Amino acid sequence: MGTTVVTTETIVKAGPDLGSGGGNGFRGNGGRGPDRIQRDQYQPEKYRIGMWAALASIMMLFVALTSAYIFRYKWRGQDGGTDWVALTMPRVLWLNTVVILLSSLTVDIARRAFSSGAYGRFKRYMSLSTMLGGVFLVGQFIAFKSLVAQGIFMRSNPHSSFFYLLTGLHGLHLIGGIAAMCFVTLKGIRRQFEEGRAAAVEITALYWHFMDGLWVYLFLLLFFWK
Amino acid sequence: MGKALGLLLWIITAAAVWMFAVKKWWFPESITEHGSLVDAQFMRTLFVVAAAFVLAQVALGFVVFRFGGGKQGAATYSHGSNKLEVTWTLITAAVFVTLGVLGQQVWASLHFHDAPAGSLTIEVTAQQFAWNFRYAGADGVLGKTDPKLMNDSTGNPLGRDSKDPAGDDDIVASTITVPANRPVKLILKSKDVIHSFFVPNLRFKQDLVPGMSINVHFTPMKPGHYELACAELCGAGHYKMKSYMDVLPEDDFEKWLKDKGTGK
Amino acid sequence: MAEHEAAVHAHHPPTGFIRKYIFSVDHKIIGIQYYFLAIFSVIVGMTMSVLMRLQLGWPGQQFGFLKWIFPNAAADGTISPELYLSLVTMHGTIMVFFVLTTAPQGGFGNYFLPIQIGAADMAFPVLNMLSFWTTFLALVAMIGAIFVETGVVGPIGGWTGYAPLSALGEASGQKGQTEGVVLWIISIALFCIASLLGALNFITTMLNMRTKGMSLTRLPLSCWGWFTTAVLALLSFPVLLAGGVLLLLDHVAGTSFFIPANLYVNDKLITEHGGGSPIMWQHLFWFFGHPEVYIAILPGMGATSHILATFARKPIFGYRAMVYAIFAIGLLGFFVWGHHMFISGMDPRTGMMFSLITLTIGVPSAIKTFNWLGTLWGARIRFTTAMLFSIGFVSLFVSGGVTGMFLGQTSLDLQLHDTYFVVGHFHMIMGVAAIFGMFAGTYYWFPKMFGKMMAEGVGKLHFWLTFIGVNAIFIPMHIMGIVGAPRRYAFHWNEVTGEGFEYLKGIVPVTKFVSYAAFFTAAVQILFFINLAWSLYKGKKAAVNPWEATSLEWTIPSPPPHDNFGGHEPTVYHGPYEYSVPGAKTDFVMQTDPTGAKAGG
């Protein structure tokens, strides 16, 4: 029990420091550590597991909406109306697709830079990715505006409804990703970097890749399926 | 305590079995061909389910009764038996799947075939909270309808297009009349929300979904006056969306159809 | 992002009242918050059911006190059909979401999952707090739906909210379908988000936070119940969320996902919408709705297994089979949603497939029942209140489960679908069986949660009366369904006015009997609430391990300190159910006891 006392002191001292460091994940060790000292060590696993779980649930959201999309497409005209009017794709979406693919690339460069110790390079590429994310959102906004200018709204027809809904939800999730990228670029990362803690960067990159893949999927679904 | 709980479990089991066994409250009489098959499948299932129910509850009562005394020695130390697990898994799987397969036959006979030739076709249009039944009349063709012409207050609930002569001899009624021993084909539609066509004596139920036209068929056998209920929540008046199904002998039905056709 | 949490939970117990009890990140406080949120909801939901039984037993009759409860909606002292349907909707919604989903998982799961695996807290404590407060917001929105429209206490479309009735809004001409339904959808959407955050947290906690020696096969079965539930929630709530968003858009943004063309409603042709599919809503809803049934019952199964072993003084019979059965039920639960839609107009061929898969769920359910019986065989039962409710759970699980064999068959659904047979079936299993799981959990874990014992005598009385009561309510409902009584009817036969269905005249005495049984059972619950309140203040002080149980929560003080294990991490040497080990000093060997290491596990 002697170690326990020491442990507690360590924690009390370490507490505020760890706190200012941002995300340290010091609770939990996947059933491996023998006592509190190890238990309080940096545990990246839980962030990875948590992120995979989150991605699974986001995936289910879009799976559900995809089924609705296909179901609704097959249903069109069932009750006499031929209401499904396919949108002409706003051209800016091509550009957007390139931008988000590019951002996935830069995020991955940043992630590798972080783990190989090139902090400056990490910072440059992460900032670049954040900017590309922003550019993508602006591009989406332009696409929306061009559709609105043609008089195509959410309510106009099922294809436009699904277009606004799916890209809007993707955009919302993307904003979360951009916030995470700002966070890892700007705040409290220096210290994590020094301690070799890559979880925040890794799960941010993972999330961003997922958003990238999701976009490509939605792009194909909305404009190239059938 | 154990004895009391064991007894209570047995009493509840006995009461439940009694309720199902006395048949004081039971299905209304079945009047269709497939109805007796549904009832037979129900009884088969009831037999299996009652056996499972009684066995499980009696066994639960027994273990509670037997091992709840508190006076015997230490409990048995056992983590289970794989042999037993496999045995009862296989037995239940065999019983349940057999039951499931048997249960599909009636369903298949009703839903996997079109209505037989010579069926009487009736278009059923449900609305909050009434039923419309339309017969094609002498020409055997239902007149055109247009939703834009629908108007409940002027007596054109189905939106009949008066320009179409095929509709002139159509018969529209608020109760359904069908001949006995002749297959009936229903075309089910709804004007507003989802309703469900349910005549307990028919052993038949089907939702009427707006935007869809669902074809079903059955053969009533026994003449009589039967109640028709809506079985899908459709709004405040759901509980009173009631109508009747009259099953008439073939001759009486022809007469009814003729009177209806000329009488309007 | 989850990154912020470390700063908050720096192992000093928070000192301010607000941080300690309101916006707490301690899983134990959050568990208690969830539990009391469910208690509040169950009181609202149960009151509604009593009012429904009043109307069903004595349709259209005047009761003076109704004027007092509903000054607007029941100004003449009678329950109108609209009011009745809104009671049906809100009873269902509140019970399913805010009681059955909240108490077993959010309440007991939150409190005991970390402790039973030997962790100091959930993986993401701040996220945990957010889940609770999002749930709270959802409840506020749901309660708002009660008050927002006059003449009703919420939407009238049932908890399943079938489109297009729920999507039409003002145009439907029905009360409760405008602001009421909007708040109702918003509440459910918030609830989805809260449940997703919670599920993510549960999964991560159980996978990553287990203490030394706590291998997967040494986890108490309650943990497996919570974990599987979390997986189901993680994968099914997004689908409901998607459906809810689409429904909301149809309702407020003029889209047509679920609304078909040419609807003629309330003497008007609806031209703003067209082309949508009402069946699509049912697919989305039931894809969530069926796993939701297991979300309600699996934690109860876990807790019951845990408690049965404790008071049988025996190891659980077939631990691995129990875990596999929970998984099998959860997995199969994703492929059977169509059995709610046999007669919906869905392709009859798919109905057949759904039917066959549905019946196979009977197999893992039977395995669970056999193993519970096996656990009790040769036991030395201690009849605590918790044990009584667990045995009651097994009995109700059997009663409610077997009738699924009827409803899972396409051909029998022709007659039984949407009748009281269904009402009896699902209340028996996801209603009272799940509630019995909660009662068992309450009587079992209350001493740990609050450091006080509950009054056992009152508790036992509560069990006997409740067990008789629920059987008296729900078994006769099956019979009413066989006669053909449709559900969601404001009444079947009104003796006074002679309105209603002639073929249902015969069940009037049954209906009245069920109503009396419901009043009785509801009244009996007062015993529970009094016991709960009294024990909180005056209960006997609880020892560390009052039940002589083996799992980790019984190694720490009652109630546990802020960081659960007081700064050290327990080491686990055995499986969770080492009772009556031959040669051991006591008839239970704690999971943390190294000397009994020979016990295996």
What tens digit of pLDDT does each residue of C72-121 get? Answer: 888 889 999 999 999 999 999 999 999 999 999 999 999 999 999 999 99
pLDDT for res A194: 62
Residues C125-176 pLDDT 10s:
999 999 999 999 999 999 999 999 988 999 999 999 999 999 998 888 899 9
Same domain as B133, residue B57: no
Could B210 and A79 be called an inter-chain contact, meaning their C-beta atoms sit closer than 8 Å?
yes
Q: How confident is residue C252, by pLDDT bands cut at 50, 70 and 90?
A: very high
CB C284 within 8 A of CB A68: yes
Confidence of residue A15 (pLDDT cuts 50, 70, 90): very low
Assembly ipTM: 0.96
* pLDDT band, very low/low/confident/very high, at B110 (cuts 50, 70, 90): confident
Query: For B211, which of C261, C408, C419 is closest by C-beta distance?
Result: C261
- Shortest Cα distance, chain B CAs vs residue C2, angstroms: 41
- Sign for the pseudo-dihedral over CA of A213, A214, A215, A220: positive
Chain B residues within an 8 Å CB radius of A78 = 211-212
Residues A12 and A63 both lie in one domain: no
Mean pLDDT score across all residues of chain A: 80
In a domain, C18, yes or no: no
Same domain, B139 and B241: yes
Q: Which residues of C302-332 are buried (b: 16+ CB within 10 A; e: fewer)?
A: bbbbbbbbbbbbbbbbbbebbbbbbebbbbb
d(CA A208, CA A177): 6
Name the A residues in 67-86 with CB < 8 Å from any B CB. Answer: 78-79
Are residues A65 and A164 located together in one domain of the fold? yes
The pLDDT of residue A191 is: 66
CATH assignment of the domain containing A107: 1.20.120.80
In chain B, % of residues over pLDDT 70: 98
Is C11 inside any structural domain?
no
Please count the structural domains in chain B. 2
Above 90 in pLDDT, residue A22? Answer: no
C246 contacts in chain A (CB < 8 Å): 65, 68, 165
Q: What is the CATH number of the domain that holds B235?
A: 2.60.40.420
Identify whether residues B52 and B31 lie together within a single domain: yes
C140 domain-assigned? yes
- Same domain? For A56 and A11 the reply is no
The pairing of strands B195-199 and B171-173 is unpaired
Q: What is the pLDDT of residue C12?
A: 63
Tell whether C14 is covered by a domain: no
Q: Name which residue leads in pLDDT, C488 or B154.
A: C488
The DSSP result for C46-96, as a single string, is HHHHHHHHHHHHSTT---HHHHHH-TTTTTTSS--HHHHHHHHHHHHHIII
Smallest Cβ distance to C267: which of B25, B101, B153?
B153
Question: So what's the pLDDT on residue A6?
Answer: 33
Q: Check CB contact of B73 with chain A, cutoff 8 Å.
A: no
Mean of the per-residue pLDDT values of chain B: 92
**Residue C15 resides in a domain:** no
Q: What is the pLDDT of residue A26?
A: 33
Is the CB of B211 less than 8 angstroms away from the CB of C277?
A: yes
Residues B191 and B148 reside in one and the same domain: yes
- Tell me what pLDDT residue C596 has: 63
> The domain containing residue A19 runs over which residues?
2-39
A69/A99 same-domain check:
yes
The reply to whether B259 and B128 lie within a common domain is yes
Residue C166: give its domain's CATH number: 1.20.210.10
Mode of pairing for the β-strands spanning B195-199 and B184-190:
unpaired
The answer to whether residue A31 scores a pLDDT higher than 60 is no
**Quick one: average pLDDT of C542-555?**
96
Kindly identify which residue of chain B lies nearest to residue A76, measuring between CA atoms: B211
Confidence of residue A4 (pLDDT cuts 50, 70, 90): very low
Q: Packing angle between helix C319-332 and helix C362-376, nearest 10 degrees?
A: 160
Whether B185 and B167 map to the same domain: the answer is yes
Q: With an 8 Å Cβ cutoff, is C573 touching chain A?
A: no
- Count other C-beta atoms under 10 Å from residue C522's C-beta: 16
**Residues of A with Cβ-Cβ distance to B189 under 8 angstroms:** none
Residue C598's pLDDT band, with cuts at 50, 70 and 90, is low
| Model confidence at C600: pLDDT above 60 | no
Mean pLDDT, chain C, as a whole number?
A: 93
Question: Quick one: A29 and A52 in the same domain?
Answer: no
Residues 6+ apart with CB under 8 A from B236: C80, C81, C82, C85, C156, C174, C175
Amino acid B137: pLDDT? 84
In a domain, B131, yes or no: yes
Chains touching A (3+ CB pairs < 8 Å): B, C
Count of residues in chain A: 226
Are B53 and C395 in contact (CB < 8 Å)? no
- Looking at residue C19, its pLDDT comes to 83
Same domain, A12 and A117: no
Q: Which domain holds residue B158?
A: 118-263
The verdict on B155 touching A (C-beta cutoff 8 Å) is no
Instruction: Tell me if A69 is assigned to some domain.
Output: yes
The pLDDT, as a whole number, for residue C230 is: 97
A102 and A204 both lie in a single domain: yes
Please choose, from the candidates B47, B13, B67, B89, the residue with its C-alpha nearest in 3D space to the C-alpha of residue C395: B13
Return the number of CB contacts < 8 Å for A and B.
5
The predicted pLDDT at position C222 comes to 97
Is the confidence at residue A173, as pLDDT, over 70?
yes
- Confidence band, pLDDT 50/70/90 cuts, at residue A196: low
- Whether C298 shows a pLDDT value over 90: the answer reads yes
Mean pLDDT of B95-116: 87
Q: Are C493 and B227 in contact (CB under 8 A)?
A: no
Q: What is the pLDDT of residue A195?
A: 65
Provide the token pair at A30. 């996947």
Looking at the fold, whether B47 and B145 belong to one and the same domain comes out as: no
SS3 C394: helix
Residue of chain B nearest A79, judged by CA positions:
B211
Q: Are residues B197 and B252 in the same domain?
A: yes
The residue-averaged pLDDT of C470-476 equals 97
pLDDT the model gives residue C566: 86
The token pair at A184 is: 């890892």
Partners of chain B (3+ Cβ pairs below 8 A): A, C
Is the pLDDT confidence value at C513 over 90?
yes
Decide which of A8 and C329 is more confident.
C329
> What is the number of structural domains in chain A?
2
**Is residue C6 in some structural domain?**
no
pLDDT at position B73, please? 74
Shared domain for A19 and A57, answered yes or no, is no
Residues 136 through 165 of chain A touching chain C, CB cutoff 8 Å: 154-155, 158, 161, 165
Residue at A87 is within a domain: no
Q: Contact C490/B239, CB-based, under 8 Å?
A: yes
Indicate whether A129 and A211 sit together in one domain: yes
What percent of chain A shows pLDDT beyond 90? Answer: 54
Do B56 and C503 make contact, defined as CB atoms within 8 angstroms?
no
Residues B90, B149, single domain; the answer is: no
Residue B33, pLDDT score: 87
Mapped onto helix, strand or coil, the DSSP state of residue C590 is coil
Query: Are the beta carbons of C187 and C145 closer than 8 angstroms?
Result: yes
What is the rounded distance in angstroms from the CA atom of residue C295 to the CA atom of residue C234?
11
pLDDT in tens, C38-68: 999 999 999 999 999 999 999 999 999 999 9
Q: What percent of chain A has pLDDT over 70?
A: 75
pLDDT band for B41, please (50, 70, 90 cuts): very high
Distance (Å) from the alpha carbon of B213 to chain A's nearest alpha carbon: 9
Q: Provide CB contacts within 8 A for C93, sequence distance 6+.
A: C142, C154, C159, C184, C188
**Total domains, chain C:** 1
Number of H helices, E strands in chain C: 19, 4
- pLDDT value at position B72? 62
Decide if B103 contacts B212 (C-beta within 8 A).
no
Residue A20: inside a domain: yes
**B106-B107-B113-B118 Cα dihedral, nearest 10 degrees:** 60
Q: Are C486 and B231 in contact (CB under 8 A)?
A: yes
Please report the pLDDT score of residue A189 as a whole number: 63
Q: How far apart are CA A95 and CA C125, in angstroms?
A: 41
> How near does any CA of chain B get to the CA of C393, in Å?
11
Residues A107 and A71 in one domain: yes
Are residues B237 and B126 part of one domain?
Answer: yes
The pLDDT of residue A66 is: 96
pLDDT, position C11? 53
Largest Cα span, chain A: 80
> C269 in contact with A at a CB cutoff of 8 Å?
no
Higher pLDDT, B138 or A217: A217
Q: What confidence tens digit (pLDDT) does each residue in A34-62 have?
A: 434 344 456 778 899 999 999 999 999 99
Residues C340-353: tens digit of each pLDDT: 999 999 999 999 99
A12 lies in some domain = yes
CA-closest candidate to residue B78, choices C47, C379, C90, A157: C379
- In angstroms, the separation between the Cα of residue A69 and the nearest Cα of chain B is 18
**Are A202 and A101 contained in the same domain?**
yes
Range A142-170 average pLDDT: 94
Tell whether A86 is covered by a domain: no
In a domain, B56, yes or no: yes
Asked if the model's pLDDT at residue C262 lies above 50, the reply is yes
* Residue-wise pLDDT tens digits, B161-218: 889 888 888 999 999 999 999 999 999 999 999 999 999 999 999 999 999 999 999 9
pLDDT tens profile B48-100? 999 999 999 999 999 999 998 666 677 889 888 889 889 988 998 999 888 88
**Contact flag C363-B93 (C-beta cutoff 8 Å):** yes
Say yes or no: A211 and A155 in one domain: yes
Whether C255 and A56 lie within 8 Å, measured CB to CB? no
B205 shares a domain with B132: yes
